[in-house]
Structure 1
Amino acid sequence: MIRLLTSADEPLLWEMLYQAIHVPEGSPPPPRDIVRRPELSRYVEGWGQRDDLGVVALQEGEVAGAAWLRRLTGALRGYGHVDDETPELSIALLPQHRGRGLGTRLLTSLLEEARNRYPAISLSVSPDNPALRLYRRLGFVEVGRNGASLTMVLTLSDQRGSNQVYP
């Protein structure tokens, strides 16, 4: 089952934020408190703001994964920032639920919810992250780099009057 996230879901988003951290093959995972650093905590802290949008996947009543969007502007800009109107995507699955198509279902559900709210969605991804294939398959295109990571954008619509056009 996939349902919309609410402000009451902030605690589960902290775990999903940790799971969203890409750990290269053979590298040790970071300490759990890494998500409390400002450059990461901004993706979930105070969840439920006006422009926040997300979905959570439940399997047998347990959280399996989540995908969410948040506009990060000004000093709070995130890794995948392209402009102040475009929210950034975060997505995570618990390890035992990866590689089974759940990420595709989660992201597809989120995109359906987002189409009438945002002109585009951005993200930041490491080139060696397996999720890169999913993003490309769903239409995200590379628009830049932030250090070693790719910045990608999916244009949803131009219904909000945005003049920004992404390749």
Structure 2
Amino acid sequence: MPLEGLVIRPLLSQEHSILREFLYLAVFIEDGNSNLPMNIVDEPSLIKYIKEFEKKDDICLVAEVNSEIIGAIWTRLFDGEHKGYGYYDDTTPELSMSVKEEFRGKRVGNMLLSNMKELLKEQSYKQVSLSVSKNNFATNLYIKFGFIIIEEREMDYLMLVNL
């Protein structure tokens, strides 16, 4: 059952700073993030997911309960020269998502993913890609939403869903 009072809405310009926290939460390691310093997101391979967010093709939705942002889902277009972990091609947005730990398992991710897929369809995107660590519990959620594994790598899967 979804959380009572859960609202899915676009990220506001003045809220961009919260993407740093949600990028940190999106970094998955098997033993949890508690030993990772927050500045891990400043690594060039990660900061690209949020740096100068609000470019032409950037899209972000947040989940909010009682005026608290508890989850975020966002997409960016990368090119082959500056690709992210979930890069598929220059016309396929790459998706990132995270939910605060205390709100996981309450269908917040389902709501975010469902709303983002609809928004991307409305904007005429044909597909969306992502990278997910092999041991990440979210892998099953992505499969439930139609993502297929198109490449198995050493530590992660490259997944894609047609919209």
Relative to structure 1, is the Cα distance of residues 27 and 98 closer, same or farther in structure 2, using a 3 angstrom cutoff?
closer
Q: Secondary structure at the match of 2:122?
A: coil
Relative to structure 1, is the Cα distance of residues 49 and 57 closer, same or farther in structure 2, using a 3 angstrom cutoff?
same
Residue correspondence of structure 1 range 67-82 to structure 2 within 5 A = 67-82=73-88
1:58 paired residue number: 64
Report Cα offsets for 1:108-166 as digits up to 9, x if no partner: 1111111132111000011110000100000000111343210000111xxxxxxxxxx
CA contact (8 A) 1:81 1:122 kept: yes
CA contact (8 A) 1:7 1:47 kept: no
2:133 paired residue number: 126
CA contact (8 A) 2:27 2:33 kept: no
State which of 9, 18, 22 in structure 1 corresponds to 2:24. 18
CA contact (8 A) 2:25 2:33 kept: no
User: Once the two structures are aligned, what percentage of the paired residues are identical?
Assistant: 36
Q: Determine the C-alpha separation between the residues in 2 that align with 1:110 and 1:128.
A: 23
Alignment size in residue pairs? 156
Cα RMSD over matched residues? 1.4
Give 5+ residue unaligned stretches, structure 1.
Answer: 157-167
1:4 paired residue number: 10
Structure 1 residue 94 corresponds to structure 2 residue 96: no
Matching residue's letter, 2:116: L
Give 5+ residue unaligned stretches, structure 2.
Answer: 1-6
Relative to structure 1, is the Cα distance of residues 34 and 26 closer, same or farther in structure 2, using a 3 angstrom cutoff?
closer
State which of 91, 115, 125 in structure 2 corresponds to 1:85. 91
Q: Determine the C-alpha separation between the residues in 1 that align with 2:32 and 2:19.
A: 26
Structure 1 residue 44 corresponds to structure 2 residue 50: yes
State which of 139, 142, 148 in structure 1 corresponds to 2:149. 142
Q: Determine the C-alpha separation between the residues in 1 that align with 2:106 and 2:37.
A: 27
Q: Normalised by the size of structure 1, how large is the TM-score?
A: 0.88
Relative to structure 1, is the Cα distance of residues 69 and 26 closer, same or farther in structure 2, using a 3 angstrom cutoff?
closer
